Structure 1
Amino acid sequence: MRMTSIKMKKKLDELFQQEENWRVSFNRDKNTYRVEWKETKQGVTITIPNVIAKYEQRGEAALDELQFHIQESLKMMHEEHQLEGKEKHIFPVIRATSFPKKTKAGTKLVYTEHTAETNIYYALDLGTTYQLIDQKMLEEQGWSVERLKEVSLFNIRSLSAAPKKDTVAGNDFYFVATQDGYDASRILNEAFLEEMRANASGELAVAVPHQDVLILADIQNETGYDILAQMTMKFFAEGRVPITSLPFIYEEKHLEPVFILAKNKPKH
């Protein structure tokens, strides 16, 4: 029997209505479901058709996972987190330039520009999830953006970046996919990129289609560009947190986004 939005709403009510400090609401026009703290009105909005699609694929396990992530997210919104003494838990996260610059409550998120396609945000790792650091948190704790950036880049360099290699049509592709939430962030590990560049036979291309993968490609012939373009687009479409479908050429410590046309070398 087909799952409808109304039936899914009832299932979500069962998951989230029992918590007395939360309020739930259903927007029939937008087909969304919201869970928020009664006191602060901070919360999470869920797109019901997306939940239905996951439910039809994976059944109750999809709802269990959703419940866990919503609970963690709401819990995180309610807690006061300190940066001092948590330096080892601060990491950079790569996001698309279209990613929101403010929290739902209207506080500015801390970010720095990275490329024409990407920005760097900063996260406090909380174990099972992380919280993006906003301006208010930074000011209250007397931190500068420079300090935040320095600490986070030091931490990203400390994470292992052992890629898996795959050779296709004479081109070498390397994948970093540890699922620790910071795979794409490893694009900021300049020492790692320099090492990959030094070992590349051809041109080094780098891609961050979504948060949970970093692709590096040693492009040695024309076909390599086509393969990379198709691969990046596929990962981008499937990613939980998509970033960009455009790969970058890495040259002289600089990342240049490229449009790869079928059967053609990149057009900058």
Structure 2
Amino acid sequence: MADRISEKLADRPWSCKFEREKDSLRIEEKATGKGVTISLPGIIAKWENQKEKAINEVVYYIEEALTAMTESQELSGKEKSLYPVIRSTSFPTETNDGHALLYDEHTAETRIFYALDLGNSYRLIDHKMMERENWNHTRIRETALFNLRSLKTEIKKDQVAGNTFYFLRANDGYDASRILDESVMQSFKNRISGTMAIALPHQDVVIFADIQNDTGYDVLAQLAMSFFASGRVPITALSFLYEEDKLEPIFILGKNRPVNSGKDDKK
């Protein structure tokens, strides 16, 4: 898989290095050393179902990400292009050249980063970028959350064994971020009659579940794992309970019973 991706990027001024121990491919601009690291197992799993489409998709992502990374970007005048993005707590908190990324703690499994939307891609905001233009953390956070509320919300619904599952997929790059919109969370809270559970498997989907019985937990766990394995930017295979306006990560073990992850949750 590393070879096939590298071949498609052969005509670009980038170097590709397969990192065997990490099962990843590092793509860098030769002149600056800036680049992205792609995890290969998820791409291989996606390739088994989608074949060449999966490879073309990741190549497109690499091209857009590297182009955005190597161009100079400014925040001023682009206030309407700021959005929050959800990432796993294992996601790097600084750029490859050592600049700290701007983020907020969220749950034991997730963090909130902030991005400047560039159309077909986006660039995560770092402290250097923020300070260069005399912005501050609060301003970026409030602007990003305000912009999030303007995005359209598209929902598909499915029912399994008396449990209802809602899939939010607008395909705009900020689907997972919708859980930061209080109006979206409240709308699901009002329509759910059983236990409200949520899965954030990757950045391009949120699964809201109205759990009515034990089977519902099992189905949610299977959905979360399936989406996590196929996502371009995976977040977490764990699910969350939504209680008292807080997300609590849970493992779903044994006879479909949810178990607290054991980590201290953060609002």
Report the TM-score range of the alignment, normalised by the length of the smaller protein: 0.7 to 0.9
Match of residue 16 from structure 1: 10
Identical pairs, percent: 52
Contact 1:190/1:253, CA 8 A, preserved across alignment: no
Q: Does 1:200 align with 2:192?
A: yes
State the structure with bigger RCO (CA 8 A, min sep 6), 1 or 2: 2
One-letter amino acid matched to 2:119: G
SS at match of 1:83: coil
Change (3 A) 1:55 1:196: closer
SS at match of 2:201: coil
Determine the C-alpha separation between the residues in 2 that align with 1:140 and 1:211: 28
Change (3 A) 1:187 1:23: closer
Per-residue deviation, 1:44:
3.5
Determine the C-alpha separation between the residues in 2 that align with 1:244 and 1:235: 10
One-letter amino acid matched to 1:120: I
Count of aligned pairs: 258
Per-residue deviation, 1:52:
7.7
Q: Does 1:80 align with 2:76?
A: no
Alignment deviations for residues 71-98 of structure 1 (CA, whole Å, 9 cap, x no partner): 3222212211111211111111101101
SS at match of 2:234: coil
Contact 1:183/1:212, CA 8 A, preserved across alignment: yes
Change (3 A) 1:51 1:190: closer
Contact 1:206/1:215, CA 8 A, preserved across alignment: yes
Which sections of structure 1, spanning at least 5 residues, go unmatched?
Answer: none
Contact 1:207/1:248, CA 8 A, preserved across alignment: yes
Match of residue 68 from structure 1: 60
Determine the C-alpha separation between the residues in 2 that align with 1:111 and 1:170: 39
Contact 1:92/1:120, CA 8 A, preserved across alignment: yes
Match of residue 263 from structure 1: 255
Change (3 A) 1:81 1:195: same
Match of residue 127 from structure 1: 119
Query: Could you tell me which of 32, 52, 58 is aligned with 2:51?
Result: 58
> More displaced, 211-220 or 41-50?
41-50
Instruction: Give runs of aligned pairs for residues 112-191 of structure 1, distance below 5 A.
Output: 112-191=104-183
Change (3 A) 1:257 1:75: same
SS at match of 1:258: strand
One-letter amino acid matched to 2:158: D
Which sections of structure 2, spanning at least 5 residues, go unmatched?
Answer: 261-267
> More displaced, 38-47 or 172-181?
38-47
Change (3 A) 1:87 1:219: same
Determine the C-alpha separation between the residues in 1 that align with 2:176 and 2:94: 21
Match of residue 216 from structure 2: 224
Alignment deviations for residues 102-145 of structure 1 (CA, whole Å, 9 cap, x no partner): 11111111110000110001111100011111111011011111
Determine the C-alpha separation between the residues in 1 that align with 2:43 and 2:210: 38
> More displaced, 153-162 or 46-55?
46-55
One-letter amino acid matched to 1:234: S
Determine the C-alpha separation between the residues in 2 that align with 1:160 and 1:196: 15
Tell me which structure has the larger Cα radius of gyration: 1
> More displaced, 33-42 or 171-180?
33-42
Change (3 A) 1:87 1:257: same
Give the TM-score of the pair, scaled to structure 2.
Answer: 0.85
- Which structure carries more strand by proportion? 2
> More displaced, 136-145 or 256-265?
256-265
Contact 1:210/1:242, CA 8 A, preserved across alignment: yes
One-letter amino acid matched to 1:258: I
Determine the C-alpha separation between the residues in 2 that align with 1:85 and 1:78: 20
What is the CA RMSD across the aligned residues, in angstroms? 2.7
Per-residue deviation, 1:67:
4.4
SS at match of 1:100: coil
One-letter amino acid matched to 2:91: F
